[in-house]
């Protein structure tokens, strides 16, 4: 037996998994080779070191934490079963997001349309420039075409921010009409 | 723990659990939790991460109980799950370590290389401390480390190791021998000279 054969048989020898014939040759080589003799000593020492490592144990609350996690899994699983009436692949996250986006878009479009209708009122008057110092007659009516008490306003440059008083029974939803020069 | 469960083999327990017997699962946890913790701890050398991996292993068993087929030993199956999860955790740990190193300034590197987490030093009978032995194990490459832990710490048979890591028995034997030689090389320099030991 040479040194490389000796090295290859180290575990077999230490584990006792070696035939008597090979064992004899192994020991003969060890007897005449100080390097391999030392190698065997170091090898056994390393094995002894590993075998003497302390056994690690789980922490005292290991079971409690494990069964808590299992309970959480079970709860999830119940919800999945409940939602499982519709297979999961039929309502993936993207589909739900798309549905919400579509609803938001429809609401948005509807709002824009309503706002657009009120802006595009055909009888909407155009305010005269505040620099024109002419009296204005404001007519307010709750019903289109029906004139109610006229309110006469003197227009001057300082009145641009004046708030028109709201009288009882009148609404801003009614038509407001400015008549110049009356 | 239900004492009447002790009479069942591991394979009988998982069969009972597959049929809905939760007590059988409890017995499986009782039998394997410390064995797996020891295995995973020696692999990761991190107490907290090892415990998390063992928890994840049992959760997998719980969720995937029907995946086990009675063609292999149950211990082989559960060790395979734990080993795979431990490997994934080790990869994550290495990535985190690389990231933390790459984020250090040059002047910091000398002082702030993150050290491995260890429990307080425990006395190991013999010439080495537990940390020295663990360091030597950590320095082994993955393929040697796995077989050394399974054989010399978990004391599994060559056949079981062969099934767990899915390589032929001959390869397992050869790897174990080479792994042990590498380990003794790493530990040799820590050994006191023969003269000092005998005096």
Reduce the secondary structure of A88-103 to three states and give it as a string. Answer: HHHCCHHHHHHHHHHH
Residue-level pLDDT, tens digit, chain B, 199 residues: 567 788 889 999 999 999 989 999 999 999 999 999 999 999 998 999 999 999 999 999 999 888 888 778 899 999 999 999 999 998 887 777 666 655 544 444 433 333 344 344 445 556 778 888 999 999 999 999 999 999 999 999 999 999 999 899 999 999 999 999 999 998 887 765 544 544 4
A contact residues 35-74, partner B, Cβ 8 Å cutoff: 39, 42-43, 45-59, 62-63, 65-66, 69-70, 73
Cβ-defined contact of A50 to B152 (cutoff 8 Å): yes
Higher pLDDT: B127 or A179? It is B127
Taking the C-alpha atoms of residue B70 and residue B64, their distance in angstroms, rounded to an integer, is 14
Torsion sign (Cα): A87, A89, A95, A96: positive
A5 CA to chain B: closest CA distance, Å? 12
Phi and psi angles of residue A154, each rounded to the nearest 5 degrees, phi first: -85, 125
Beta strands A150-154 and A175-180 are unpaired
Closest residue, chain B, to A74 (C-alpha): B63
Taking the C-alpha atoms of residue A28 and residue B64, their distance in angstroms, rounded to an integer, is 54
Q: Where are the alpha helices (DSSP H) in A9-165?
A: 10-15, 20-32, 34-51, 62-83, 93-119
A103 CA to chain B: closest CA distance, Å? 38
A140 forms beta bridges with A176
Taking the C-alpha atoms of residue B187 and residue B99, their distance in angstroms, rounded to an integer, is 30
A47 CB neighbours in chain B (<8 A) are: 152, 180
Residue B178, chain A, CB below 8 Å: the answer is no
A138 forms beta bridges with A151, A178
Half-sphere exposure of A84 (CA within 13 A, CB side): 7
ipTM of the complex, rounded to two decimals: 0.75
Size of interface A-B (CB pairs under 8 A): 97
Calculate the CA A119 to chain-centre distance. Answer: 39
């Amino acid at each position: 037996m040479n040194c490389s054969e000796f090295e290859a048989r180290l575990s077999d020898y230490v584990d006792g998994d070696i035939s008597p014939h090979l064992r004899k040759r192994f020991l003969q080589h060890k007897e005449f080779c100080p390097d391999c003799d030392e190698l065997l000593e170091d090898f056994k020492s390393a094995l002894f070191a590993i075998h003497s490592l302390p056994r690690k144990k789980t922490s005292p609350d290991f079971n409690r934490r494990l069964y808590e996690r299992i309970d959480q899994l079970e709860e999830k699983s119940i919800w999945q079963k409940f939602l499982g009436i519709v297979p999961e692949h039929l309502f993936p996250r993207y589909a739900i997001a798309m549905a919400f986006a579509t609803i938001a878009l429809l609401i948005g479009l509807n709002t824009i349309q309503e706002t657009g209708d009120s802006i595009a009122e055909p009888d909407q008057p155009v305010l005269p420039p505040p620099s024109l110092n002419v009296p204005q007659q404001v007519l307010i009516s709750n019903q289109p075409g029906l004139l109610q008490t006229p309110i006469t306003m003197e227009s001057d440059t300082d009145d641009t921010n004046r708030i028109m008083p709201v009288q009882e029974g009148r609404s801003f939803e009614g038509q407001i009409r400015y008549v110049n020069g009356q | 723990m239900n004492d009447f469960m002790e009479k069942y083999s591991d394979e009988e327990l998982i069969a009972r659990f597959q049929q809905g017997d939760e007590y059988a699962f409890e017995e499986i946890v009782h039998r394997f939790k410390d064995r797996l913790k020891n295995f995973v701890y020696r692999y990761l050398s991190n107490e907290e991460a090892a415990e998390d991996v063992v928890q994840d292993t049992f959760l997998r068993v719980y969720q995937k109980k029907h995946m086990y087929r009675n063609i292999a030993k149950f211990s082989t199956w559960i060790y395979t799950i734990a080993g795979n999860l431990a490997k994934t955790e080790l990869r994550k740990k290495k990535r985190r370590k690389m990231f933390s190193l790459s984020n250090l300034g040059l002047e910091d590197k000398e002082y702030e290389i993150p050290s491995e987490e260890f429990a307080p030093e425990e006395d190991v009978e013999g010439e080495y401390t537990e940390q020295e032995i663990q360091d030597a194990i950590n320095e082994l490459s993955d393929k040697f480390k796995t077989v050394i832990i399974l054989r010399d710490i978990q004391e599994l048979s060559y056949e079981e190791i062969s099934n767990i890591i899915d390589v032929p028995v001959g390869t397992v034997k050869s790897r174990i021998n080479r792994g042990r030689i590498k380990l003794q090389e790493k530990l040799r320099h820590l050994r006191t000279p023969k003269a000092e030991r005998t005096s």
